[in-house]
Amino acid sequence: MKQNEEILSEFETIENSSKKIPKKLPVLPVRDVVLFPYMIFPLLIGRTSTLKAVSEGVSKDKYIFVTSQKNSKVEEPSFDDVYEYGTIARIVQVLRLPNNLLKVLVEGLFQGKIKKRYKNDEYLEAEIQVIKFDSFDSKNKTLNAHIRYATELFREYVKNEPGLPADILTAFDNIEDHTQKLFFAAANTRAEIPDKQRLLEATTMVDQYFQLGALLKTEIEMQSMEQEIGTKVNEQIHKTQRRYFIQEQIRILQNELGGDEEEPSSELAQIKEMIEKAEMPQHAKDKAMEEFERLKKTPTMSPEFSVNRNYLELLAQIPWKKTTIDNLDVNHVKNILDEDHFDLEKPKERILEFIAILNLAGKLKRQILCFVGPPGVGKTSLAKSIARALGRNFVRFSLGGVRDEAEIRGHRRTYIGAMPGKIIQSMKKGGTINPVILLDEIDKMSMDFRGDPSAALLEVLDPEQNANFNDHYLEVDYDLSSVMFITTANVKYDIPLPLLDRMEIIELTSYLDPEKLQIAKKHILPKIIEEYGLTDFKIDFTDEAILKIIREYTREAGVRNLEREISSVLRKLSKEIVEDYFLNLTNKNLINNLATKNKESLVTGVLKDNQDFKRKVKRKKYKVTPETIEQYLKSPKFKEKSNKLDDKIGVVNGLAWTSVGGDIMPIEVTIMPGSEKLTLTGKLGDVMKESAVAALSFIRSNTSSLSLKEEFNKKSEIHIHVPEGAIPKDGPSAGITMGIAIISAVSGKAVRGDVAMTGEITLRGDILAIGGLKEKLLAAKRAGMKDVIVPKDNMPDILDISDEVKSGLNIHFVEHLSQALSIAFKDYNLTNNIIKIKKTQK
């Protein structure tokens, strides 16, 4: 600011020294204005660089070059930020204002062009070329025509522009110089800067008047559009005001008459009719009529009117008594469930029990079912089948990522944009009071400062409370007791305990290879063949081909990837069929006609109109074999490595449970010279790290009993690594595996490669129960294991596992780590002085 004050003080001492226009002039960038010749315009100056430019201009006979900025937001413009063409102006007056500002009155003299730029750190400076045109030629007909056309347009523009003074046309007519007249007209329009700038850049008077005419024509069209829009707006406002006044008059007359007359508004009458037909319970109807009376007294222009109207429409549209009749035929329900899903005996049995009790008791307080299992095992589709079997409407909404309580209970109507919660919306969508509502991914909910949606679900999923469910938007109790709620989750432990207590957990475990084979044959293949229009072709998908996809191209608990791979095979097969038959047909016009005229698919049209071709298609058989699979899907993704079953020192096969099923998890241990410490790698969780420490502590305290070297860890570093280090791993079930791996590394004895194990270890060497036993046994069988070591406490779980899983596996139940040594090692001798060896149960 001090620098600006110094510059301003210079204007008091600088005097005019020459009347000749210098070639080298300071450049003054201006924003949002174009200065034309013959135009006197005040400029407000505040930037340091422009102050210095004005100061220099005053010193050079008060001449300065004024040009417009291309972008008005640039604070310190360079030559690239201003237009090349501008106006050479004379500084008429300089006034000093408060806040270190200058008001500079400039008069435009000539058009100019920047010819040469000079380097100046304080302000812009350039050599300016003066642009002068020839004098007016009255014999130039083209020029006279342009002048007359532009003059008429300017007169029309001024008449329709309310912002211009009344005497502007008088001033325009009094100007005799056609050049001055041109710039006067351009300066008094609202045109954009680039449009005005084109006038300065024109090289002849004809071009300038042509640009002026185009500019005025555009502005007149804009005026016309503005007037049209203004007329429409005024008509709408007038119509709305007139309607409001009439409605107010009618309302006042109704009040005078006692309010007994028929509703004047068809909209209100329609809402009242909806309320009467909704068959609401008395408490809901009282609330609806109360809101209806308030709506009648609310002006339609008021925002409150639409809020109350939407509320009443919702009250009338949600079901209060409408219901569907359940199909209680047990055999029918069983057939539907079997038709849609293979296996899944436990959930099917639970649904049949529910139907049986309904047959006997007539009504039953609903127990909420929760299907828990990995992705792709059929949780959502099973809920759809239940609704179809019972003859009920089905509604699904996902709870994944829901973190706001209002998503369940709704928003209060005081908020702008309030709406009911997901439950009431689902009831409206279902259309009856007894739909099947699926709450998908209930384990994926979260919470934040807006509330906990899982807490709001406690009332919804409690049969003792949901008969009086209260939505914040609805404000009246709603009966959910007839609704059949089904929830799904991938992991049971991620469901909040109070919510888990209200549900009956039905676990859907991973599918076995034979089960996947049957699902593919009975459900996936028929569905895709029909979808791809291949029903008229004889496609033989062999069992070996399907099993090859299952074992070598997918690794999952469900069948989603299996369906994708089968779809890929059938797409490639479809391409071959089209290439073999349709691209080589002699009558190609037939194909085009069938595909366009009849609007049918290519295949369907040809089969319908070409009987000879149809017979050929029926005779042709397409067989999909394992060799075909490899040809279509290329190299297998999950080829088993033969060296996995080799006996190794310090490497033990563990069994892990994942969200997509079981898997083999090899654990590696090595001992090397170094500081006495335990190193754990492989992105392990805290629980898994603690299991490793517990296993090591047990082994160190029982070295003599385990026939190990005393103080084996002295001056040694023990490194435990779990491969595939980028994948997070956690849980206590790898304790026994880590213990056996440490013993193998210390003793130098190799562990059998065809043995896998799982179990939690304690400091006393006891082996505790684990979860996911079926998935782990399936993983062991898939990997070619012969013996599996599991905790004895898991013996009851074996009863629920099918013989298909257990066949081919020697399952050993152990209570203590010492019992696993004779199984894991081919020869291992113990000294029985501390640990009492218990007989291995098999």
Q: Which DSSP state fits 420?
A: -
Angle at 91 between CA 85 and CA 92, to 5 degrees: 135
Q: What are phi and psi of 85, to 5 degrees?
A: -100, 140
Strand bridging mode 755-757 / 677-681? unpaired
Catalytic residue among 113, 422, 776, 792: 776
763 SS3 class: coil
Q: Quick check: is 733 catalytic?
A: yes
Residue 693, classified by CB atoms within 10 Å of its CB into exposed (0-12), middle (13-18) or buried (19+), is middle
Q: What are phi and psi of 402, to 5 degrees?
A: -70, 125
Catalytic residue among 705, 733, 744, 747: 733
Q: Which DSSP state fits 365?
A: P
Q: Which of 273, 306, 318, 276 is nearest to 475 (CA)?
A: 318
What's the CA gap between 539 and 545, in Å, rounded? 13
Query: SS in 3 state form for 241-273?
Result: HHHHHHHHHHHHHHHHHCCCCCCCCHHHHHHHH
Q: Quick check: is 776 catalytic?
A: yes
Structure tokens at 608: 């319908």
Beta pairing partners, 812: 789
What's the CA gap between 841 and 16, in Å, rounded? 116
What's the CA gap between 406 and 404, in Å, rounded? 5
Q: Which of 302, 307, 273 is nearest to 291 (CA)?
A: 307
- Residues whose CB falls within 8 Å of the CB of residue 268, separated by 6 or more in sequence, listed in order: 292, 295, 296
CB-based contacts of 131-139 (< 8 A; 24+ apart in sequence): 131/85, 131/203, 133/179, 133/204, 133/205, 134/205, 136/177, 136/178, 136/179, 136/205
Residue with tokens 């085009």, as numbered in its chain: 592
Task: Give catalytic residues, as residue numbers.
Answer: 733, 776
